Amino acid sequence: MKKCAVILSSLAFLLTACSAAPADSVSATPVPTETPAPTAEPTPEPTATPSPTPAPTMAVYDEVPFDDWRDGAGCTMPDYTFSAPHKPQPQEQVTWPEDGVTLRYNAQTLEEAAEIFHTTVENLKELNPDWQDKYSRASGCYWGLKVQADPYTLPMNSVVTVTVNAPWVESYYDRTEVCDVPASLDKQARAVLASAYYFQYHWWGMHAGFLPYEKLDEPVGFFNYRAADGAFYTKFSEFGSFLHTVYSDAWVDDMLSMDPAPFAEGENDTILTLDGDRGGNIAYCGHLFTEPELQPDGSLTFWQLSLTCESDDFKGWAGEETIVPDTATVTTVRLVPTENGWRVDALELPN
């Protein structure tokens, strides 16, 4: 049984998904000459990776320098600091499981899941006797489909911790985000992925819309507010430059063309914004990544594995006992190349 603490507002349906250092002191990042080995015991690859065979590394492409990417954004960009590569560290009270976990996936159709995990619809139905109950009409998805019979061994690929800081943001909570990204990405790719986590955690994920805002004299469609001084951006032109510096054009178009969209351009280059929040899964224990692989279309694709404890023995985080996750839910992360560097084309928050 899912253990979710959900705080909904009138915008909660928007947030359902299928599937500080100054700029001149950005620290240099040691770039490993080769991807660090997983663990002493080799970590098996998933039953189906985004690419069926090992693919070339990012060295195939001319790397866009981090400073060129940041300085060419056409807007004020956050500051970034990068740690050295390290093994992923579990959050407080969590211990990585020594045995495998149950691998799950949220799919729009059974056929989609069968293709991704190289199995059959019939096999998925056998693995999920309650498959019909897993379908949500509200979101158009099958939630938590078990996709392989054998336990899945978690990868322990090295990560880099990136701190993203926008010092002009009024709210201390919204000013900074610290996140891990795969260490095998180059510096610009690390920064673009960390920027996406930053944006989605604060303004298009756990919360939707910019704060602070001021109330409009008259509503404009669904919008009752405009971003005010102290928000991440107050000019739509700058906000658009940020989005296109971080995301693919297709991703930006999809977000801004939603009905209703979370943001829109107002009069005099202002930003119309919604306001909403959602909760998260209290059983969330952290997330890991498979190794990024270059695809035939030129994109980099890998899995984000969101770890949860679905055991009936899980009583929450109030005690002192160690929590061991037993389930990993797969979502795809995809970066696409442009002449100005990598852009995020697919990313869902792990919680």
Mean pLDDT for the chain overall: 86
Structure tokens at 310: 């679905």
Please tell me what DSSP assigns to residue 260: S
Average pLDDT (331-344) is 97
Over residues 47-64, the pLDDT tens digits come to 444 443 344 444 456 789
Over residues 189-248, the pLDDT tens digits come to 999 999 999 999 999 988 889 999 999 999 999 999 999 999 999 999 999 999 999 999
3-state secondary structure of 289: strand
Q: Which residues of 243-275 are buried (b: 16+ CB within 10 A; e: fewer)?
A: bbbbbbeebbeeeeeeeebbbbebeeebbbbbb
Torsional sign, CA 257, 260, 264, 267: positive
Q: State residue 320's pLDDT score.
A: 84
3-state secondary structure of 331: strand
Calpha distance 121→118 (Å, rounded): 10
Residue type, 94: V
Structure tokens at 180: 């891990």
Single out the residue of 236, 38, 79 nearest to residue 162, CA to CA.
Answer: 79
Average pLDDT (326-345) is 97
Q: State residue 21's pLDDT score.
A: 35
Single out the residue of 257, 242, 255 nearest to residue 192, CA to CA.
Answer: 242
Confidence of residue 2 (pLDDT cuts 50, 70, 90): very low
Over residues 246-256, the pLDDT tens digits come to 999 999 999 99
Calpha distance 250→345 (Å, rounded): 7
Over residues 154-200, the pLDDT tens digits come to 999 999 999 999 999 999 999 999 999 999 999 999 999 999 999 99
Calpha distance 327→125 (Å, rounded): 19
